Amino acid sequence: MSEGRTELEKLGEFNLINHLTKKFIQKNKSTVLGIGDDAAIISMSNNKVKLVSTDLMIEGIHFDLTYMPLKHLGYKAVVINISDILAMNGTAEQITVSIAVSNRFPVEALEELYDGIHKACSIYNIDLVGGDTTSSLSGLSISITVIGTAEKKDVVSRSGAKENDLIITTGDLGAAYMGLQILEREKSIYNTNPKIQPDLDGHDYIIGRQLKPEARNDIILDLKKMNVKPTSMIDISDGLASEIIHLCKSSNVGCNVYDEKIPIDSKTSMTAIDFNLDPTTCALNGGEDYELLFTINQSDFEKVKGNPNMTIIGHITNPNDGIYFIDKSGNQIELKAQGWNHFNE
């Protein structure tokens, strides 16, 4: 143990993981890719690999049961893990579910949680194959491990982007963050005066993006139909800026991302403005969109051009050129991750 004290927020989530695991060396030939991507890769026979990812959600940190229904929580917990497998260009097949729960929850509450898990498994064709249950002194925690498969030749990691590749994001960004702002605002009003009913009218889309996201399995199917294999890919969980930086650093490249190209739903924009927030800032740093961010070779441009679910937002550059955001005035701004820090709460 080193002398002195280093606060967790000084490192942040990803630097902490790198710091704690730097001594670990892969010893087994079956471990193709370990820590550092959306999922680990474990080799199998017949030119296939297993993909494994896990995620932990803790009450008060990752979710607030004041406005998060337990059924939605179960659904979301599964979906965000599926998204990690999709980000490797794979197919999710099984999950294990482990929960730690305090005695304030009755059996009926856990039935609601598992109804949501069951719904996600049914929609995404996933099998629940195991898990664990234990007691907790501090509310509810849920950990899901997802197992998927892919052909070795189809696997995509974060490290394959090349200079001049096009950068693409799916869907629209920032909606989940603005949905959270609405929910937090109404919670604050309710806590001040419980007689005032929450005003959620007109915010169905952005609240849905926060409480019940969907994994972009359709994108993976579309790419296969178009015969396009991304050169790199990551899912957008901690904000577009953070994921672009992860992708560029893993691939040892730079990039230019253009403000005017970032897809933002009109409802997200209007709500952001109502909160005196810049819509682009919300899209860059909000997080929890669970869209896919990937790069493709320019030769595949004609195949993806015009696809309503995909937006080209920039291109990959030489690593010496840096990682930049180009605003609407053409100013070049160094892109920095300002999304949620797990240890800065």
Q: Average pLDDT for residues 2-28, to the nearest whole number? A: 55
Residues 24, 38 contacting (CB under 8 angstroms): no
What the block records as the tokens of 49 is 């690999």
Which residues, including other chains, have CB under 8 Å from residue 251's CB and lie 6 or more apart? 158, 159, 160, 161, 162, 232, 295, 316
> Residue for token digits 């296969």?
224
Domain ranges of the chain: 8-154, 166-334
Q: How far apart are CA 145 and CA 127, in angstroms?
A: 12
> Residue for token digits 């990752």?
62
Q: How far apart are CA 4 and CA 248, in angstroms?
A: 33
**Does the CA dihedral 218-220-223-224 come out positive or negative?**
negative
- Provide the pLDDT confidence category of residue 44 given band limits of 50, 70 and 90: low
Lowest mean pLDDT among 67-71, 124-128, 275-279: 124-128
What the block records as the tokens of 228 is 């396009």
Q: Average pLDDT for residues 6-16, to the nearest whole number? A: 57
Share of the chain above pLDDT 90, in %: 65
pLDDT of residue 324: 97
**Does the structure show a pLDDT above 50 at 38?**
no
- Provide the pLDDT confidence category of residue 103 given band limits of 50, 70 and 90: confident
- Provide the pLDDT confidence category of residue 343 given band limits of 50, 70 and 90: very low
pLDDT of residue 6: 63
Q: How far apart are CA 180 and CA 173, in angstroms?
A: 13
pLDDT of residue 323: 97
pLDDT of residue 3: 57
What the block records as the tokens of 323 is 């990682």
What the block records as the tokens of 67 is 């406005």
Around Cβ 258, how many Cβ atoms within 10 Å?
17
Q: In the CATH scheme, what is the homologous superfamily, with its name and number, of domain 166-334?
A: PurM-like C-terminal domain (3.90.650.10)
**Does the structure show a pLDDT above 70 at 325?**
yes
Lowest mean pLDDT among 57-66, 95-104, 287-296, 320-329: 95-104
Please tell me the CATH code under which domain 8-154 is placed. 3.30.1330.10
Host H or E run for residue 254: strand 254-258
pLDDT digits (tens, 9 = 90+) for 231-246: 999 999 999 999 999 9
**Does the structure show a pLDDT above 60 at 54?**
yes
Q: How far apart are CA 345 and CA 7, in angstroms?
A: 12
What the block records as the tokens of 314 is 């920039």
pLDDT digits (tens, 9 = 90+) for 187-210: 999 899 988 888 888 999 999 999
SS3 for 294? strand
Lowest mean pLDDT among 4-8, 13-17, 67-71, 210-214: 13-17
Q: How far apart are CA 331 and CA 256, in angstroms?
A: 11
**Does the structure show a pLDDT above 70 at 132?**
yes
Looking at per-residue confidence, does 344 or 50 come out higher? 50
Q: Average pLDDT for residues 124-140, to the nearest whole number? A: 85
Helix, strand, coil percentages (3-state) for the chain, rounded to 5, are 35, 25, 35
Which residues, including other chains, have CB under 8 Å from residue 103's CB and lie 6 or more apart? 135
pLDDT of residue 133: 83
pLDDT of residue 1: 47
Q: What is the mean pLDDT of the chain?
A: 87
